[in-house]
């Protein structure tokens, strides 16, 4: 068993295999790697790529071919364990697993591909020494590919490029490889990094090869390339313990679990440790359990050597960014820093007349506690109370980032009201700056006209246009304000054939107004249940959001007006009954199916004076001021002030 010295250092009885690090290995361009010893029995790699380029499918394939699982233990996209991840088919939270290949333990980190979850990618990269950069053999490098690759190079990771999906009929692997090289050079890679190792693969087919024409085999070439080209972790076993917390887990049995990479020293359950906080203070802590990743789960161990990824329990109030240090010689690591949020929404409790019909958590205290809890693990989120109100300004990376939070809260039993998404603006030297995004649209050639018209009306500027088979490939620079609501309109205008991706580009001086919603809405003037007779008179002039039997209240939005102004209506109007009947006076009422919006569509649809009412069972749209008299009064005041 290891023994601890006065400074808390430990020497393992059987030290892990190590080798002296080569100067400059695993260093950023123009930098030299710090002195230390490199372990040869471990590889820490992150899988990064644009959305839908096959990261999670590749992990499934590596698990299947590692020879450590029965077929019954594995399923498709098994790391996407969250209900929302399964339903949407995307990765939201980063996951850790470990596989063994030729006697070497490979810690694999699966990361999200959407730009809205870039905070997950940024902090996970701190645990890795190398990165598998997946690129679709047909689509090539996409906006998020540039973002994650730039972050990987900032963290001095050694890249291995995987040209994935080479079995696609429209695959062009050699051209894509040239595009990847161009991307590396654009991001400032030196000659060493630009000479990256690469392999062609099909995650779904289960094979990898150095020849793009091969369509059979296994993933052995990729795993061998990982062992050969990605270095082991650089460690200093003589230094005191340091472990940066990059991820938080939770169980009902032990509470909060801190996950991170042991940078130096040895992490032992018996050793006294301290935790460095955001304020710079050192808090004594005691470890209840120490685990390492093994296959799809974690196993208990007595100690973890530097270079491996560990999960520790028993430290109360630990936060992402804290450093677990040797109590005798604490040397905290720099805290995590991620890019700032770009979008903000106002969260408040549900104040509609139908409050409490479906939810369990209805008060401001419940809402505040839930948002504070989310801050503990969601490092890209910001929450600030709004003075003089019971509302909160919640800022995130994008609409998808915030809508996933709202959807999670809805399924937990919360009822909330959410305001229109707003882009966060900055002041620089007295000039208001707003974020601009790079928007990439792939659309059939005959549908390009509506895309150009819609992006142009939102101050988008065309930067590049190309052709790829039957699709036009257009790149725009557009204010982030112009992206809110654009996706739904583009999909409607192109009959769902357009594919859109965007990423942050730069901060620039704010431009003029961006066109909003062109149509007004129908607003219920009375409470009650919608009736087919009342809706029949409305459907000729509007696109309805409700159907007969739906409960409505005064101020609730029932549909979209054909004109550009709002109109109050009575959807509960019934046919007057008399004792007189005439042949042919009654007719059968046929109503069009209502337009049902998803949460993202509803958030993009509303204007400044409207809210989205989110409950566990239904999503409604409403005006902030429910009374028509109050809305008219405020309108007159604004007119007088102007």
The residue ranges of the chain whose pLDDT is under 70 are 1-35, 66-92, 115, 118, 578-587
**Looking at residue 126, what is its pLDDT?**
85
**Residues 106, 610: Cα–Cα separation, whole Å:** 51
**Looking at residue 12, what is its pLDDT?**
33
Q: Who's near 567: CB < 8 A, 6+ residues apart?
A: 520, 521, 522, 523, 561
Which residue, chain included where needed, has tokens 């390492």?
292
pLDDT in tens, 366-384: 999 999 988 877 777 889 9
The answer to whether 2 and 11 are in contact (CB under 8 A) is: yes
**Looking at residue 391, what is its pLDDT?**
92
DSSP 303-314: EEETTSEEEEE-
Q: How far is CA 436 from CA 131, 562, 568, in A?
A: 28, 32, 37
**Looking at residue 4, what is its pLDDT?**
36
**Looking at residue 139, what is its pLDDT?**
86
**Looking at residue 616, what is its pLDDT?**
92
- Per DSSP, 485 falls in state T
**Looking at residue 279, what is its pLDDT?**
83
**Looking at residue 2, what is its pLDDT?**
36
Tokens representing 238 are 């003589």
**Looking at residue 254, what is its pLDDT?**
78
**Looking at residue 38, what is its pLDDT?**
84
Mean pLDDT of the chain: 82
The answer to whether 514 and 459 are in contact (CB under 8 A) is: yes
Q: Which domains does the chain have, with CATH numbers?
A: 35-233 (3.40.50.300), 236-326 (2.40.30.10), 426-509 (3.30.70.240)
**Residues 489, 514: Cα–Cα separation, whole Å:** 14
pLDDT in tens, 206-239: 888 998 888 888 888 888 899 998 988 888 878 8
């Amino acid at each position: 068993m290891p023994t601890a010295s006065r400074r808390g250092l430990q020497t393992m009885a059987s030290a892990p295999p190590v080798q002296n690090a080569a100067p400059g290995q695993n260093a950023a361009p123009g930098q030299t790697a710090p002195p230390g010893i490199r372990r040869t029995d471990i590889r820490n790699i992150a899988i990064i790529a644009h959305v839908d380029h096959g990261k999670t499918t590749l992990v499934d394939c590596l698990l299947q071919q590692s020879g450590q699982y029965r077929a019954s233990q594995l399923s498709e996209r098994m790391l996407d364990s969250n209900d929302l991840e399964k339903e949407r088919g995307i990765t939201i939270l980063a996951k850790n697993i470990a596989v063994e290949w030729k006697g070497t333990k490979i810690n694999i980190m699966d990361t999200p591909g959407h730009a809205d979850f870039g905070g997950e990618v940024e902090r996970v990269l701190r645990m890795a020494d190398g990165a598998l950069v997946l690129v679709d053999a047909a689509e090539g490098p996409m906006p998020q590919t540039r973002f994650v690759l730039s972050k990987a190079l900032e963290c001095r990771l050694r890249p291995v490029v995987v040209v994935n999906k080479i079995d696609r009929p429209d695959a062009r692997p050699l051209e894509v490889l040239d595009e990847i090289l161009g991307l590396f050079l654009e991001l400032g890679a030196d000659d060493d990094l630009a000479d990256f190792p690469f392999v062609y693969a099909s995650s779904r087919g289960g094979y990898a090869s150095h020849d793009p024409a091969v369509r059979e085999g296994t993933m052995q070439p990729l795993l061998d390339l990982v062992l050969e080209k990605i270095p082991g972790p650089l460690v200093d076993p003589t230094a005191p313990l340091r472990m940066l917390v990059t991820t938080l887990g939770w169980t009902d049995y032990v509470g909060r679990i801190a996950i991170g990479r042991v940078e130096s020293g040895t992490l032992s359950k018996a050793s006294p440790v301290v935790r460095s906080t955001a304020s710079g203070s050192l808090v004594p802590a005691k470890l209840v359990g120490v685990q390492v990743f093994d296959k799809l789960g974690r196993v208990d161990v007595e100690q973890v050597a530097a270079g491996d990824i560990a999960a520790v329990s028993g430290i109360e109030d630990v936060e992402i960014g804290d450093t677990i240090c040797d109590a005798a010689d604490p040397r905290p690591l720099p805290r995590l820093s991620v890019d700032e949020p770009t979008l903000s929404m106002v969260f408040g409790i549900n104040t509609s007349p139908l409050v409490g019909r479906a939810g369990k958590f209805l008060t401001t205290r419940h809402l505040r506690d839930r948002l504070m809890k989310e801050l503990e693990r969601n490092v890209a989120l910001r929450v600030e109370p709004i003075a003089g109100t019971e509302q909160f300004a919640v800022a995130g990376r994008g609409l998808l980032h915030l809508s996933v939070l709202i959807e999670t809260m809805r399924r937990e039993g919360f009822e909330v009201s959410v305001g229109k998404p707003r882009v966060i603006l900055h002041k620089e030297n007295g000039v208001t700056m707003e974020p601009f995004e790079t928007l990439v649209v792939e659309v059939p050639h005959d549908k390009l006209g509506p895309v150009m018209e819609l992006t142009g009306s939102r101050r988008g500027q065309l930067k590049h246009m190309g052709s790829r088979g039957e699709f036009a490939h257009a790149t725009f620079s557009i204010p982030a304000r112009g992206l809110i609501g654009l996706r739904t309109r583009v999909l409607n205008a192109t009959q769902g054939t357009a594919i859109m991706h965007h990423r942050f580009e730069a901060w620039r001086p704010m431009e003029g107004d961006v066109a909003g919603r062109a149509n007004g809405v129908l607003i219920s003037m009375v409470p009650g249940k919608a009736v087919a007779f009342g809706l029949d008179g409305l459907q000729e002039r509007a696109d309805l959001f409700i159907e007969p039997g739906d409960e409505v209240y005064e101020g609730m939005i029932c549909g979209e007006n054909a004109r550009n102004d709002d109109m109050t209506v009575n959807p509960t109007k019934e046919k007057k009954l008399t004792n007189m009947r005439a042949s042919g006076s009654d007719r059968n009422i046929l109503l069009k199916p209502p337009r049902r919006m998803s949460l993202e569509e509803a958030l993009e649809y509303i204007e400044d004076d409207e809210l989205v009412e989110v409950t566990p069972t239904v999503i409604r749209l409403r005006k902030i001021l429910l009374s028509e008299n109050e809305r008219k009064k405020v309108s007159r005041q604004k007119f007088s002030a102007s």
